[in-house]
Structure formats: C-alpha cells, structure tokens
Amino acid sequence: MNQRYPSALLEKAVNELASLPGVGRKTALRLALYMLRRDMGYTENFAAALVALRRDVKYCKVCHNICDDEVCSICANPGRDHSLVCVVENIKEVMAIENTGQFGGVYHVLGGIISPMDGIGPGDLRIDSLVRRVAEGEVKEIILALSTTMEGDTTNFFIYRKLSGYDVRISVIARGVSIGDEIEYADEITLGRSIVNRTEFKMT
C-alpha cells in the first residue's frame, strides 16, 4: 500500500531516512516529523555533522582505524604494545575491544572478511598492509579476532599462510565468543577474557 504524504519534501526526507539500515518507513516518518518540531539549528547541526563525517574522516595509515589525523590515537600512543597486533574486521570491533580495557596492543582493521558470496576477495581487504607491518619486524604476535564463521576461518587461514614465512606468533581469540556482527553485544568481560585466553592458531 502506497502511503500518501501531504508534502513532496516530507516524502523525500522519509525516503532518505528509510534508506538507512534498520529504519523502516514508519520510523523514518516519525524522525522527519521530529525534525520539523525542533528548531532550524538542530537540523542544520545534524546534517552538517553527517556531511563532515563523510567528507573529512580519515583512516589511519598504519591500522586503517577511523581517525581525524594521519595516524590514529592508538597507533600514536607510545604506551601501547606495538609488537602485539589484533586483527579485526571493522572499526566497531576496535571500539568493542577497547571498551573491555583488556588489550594493550594495537590493531589492524581488514575492512571485512573474505566472502566469495559477496564478491569480497583477499585483494579487497587490508591484508597486504598487514604483511608489510609484519615484514618491518616490530610485530611479534598477531591475534586473529575475526568472525567465528566459515568466512572468518577462511580469512584466518589466508592470513596464516601469508605470514608463514615470517617470525611472528599467530594466535586466535578463545572460541565461544561471538565476534563479528555480534561482537558489540558480547559482554565486555567475556570479550576481554577471550583475548587474554587466546590460543595458538592451528590449521584444522
């Protein structure tokens, strides 16, 4: 059933809001009407923050984490253990692990995992730059913290093979913790423990 809007402007705004993941048309309408109730400055700030995010955001040239400078605050911190690199799929996993307060190393954000079904191959991920980091010699251990799915396993195996010629320890976070899409819902104690209790990566 096609909903009738009293204004083409309203309909356009609803269309845009409803294009966001997890936002249905009903919610989109509620949000658009909320904007109309607030003062003009509210919507201007709202829109400006999104435009600035998209236009000005940078990615750390070392670990590909999101940041405002060339290098992120984690990579730039001399207090972190730069010999210990935790490999994650996306930025939200960095945030989740940081929230545990249990990890003192640094990260490497792949930007996804190998998924032939979605057309994502190794070349689409930041694997080469991980190998370069290891080749530089400072990295002593790689912790794989990817999804416990077939795609995650495939990616772990691919990275393991890529790094096989280097003198670097490769471990995986303790299983039993849902990571990937569910990582943000895993409680911090469990997630923190899974990093502390990591085990050596073994091909199965």
- Shortest Cβ 88–Zn ion spacing (Å): 12
87 binds Zn ion (CB under 5 A): no
Q: How far is the CB of 69 from Zn ion (least distance, A)?
A: 10
Range in contact with Zn ion (rule: CB under 5 A) among 43-51, 74-82, 87-95, 169-177: 74-82
- Spatial neighbors of 113 by CB under 8 A, at least 6 apart, are 89, 120, 125, 146, 147, 149, 151, 152, 154, 155, 180
| Cα 17 from Cα 50, distance rounded (Å) | 13
Burial of 14 (0-12, 13-18, 19+ CB in 10 A): buried
d(CA 138, CA 115): 30
Q: Does 13 bind Zn ion (CB under 5 A)?
A: no
91 binds Zn ion (CB under 5 A): no
Q: Binding of Zn ion at residue 60 (CB under 5 A)?
A: yes
97 contributes a contact to Zn ion by CB under 5 A: no
Residue 65 engages Zn ion in binding (rule: CB under 5 A): yes
The residue ranges that bind Zn ion (CB under 5 A) are: 60, 62-63, 65, 72, 75
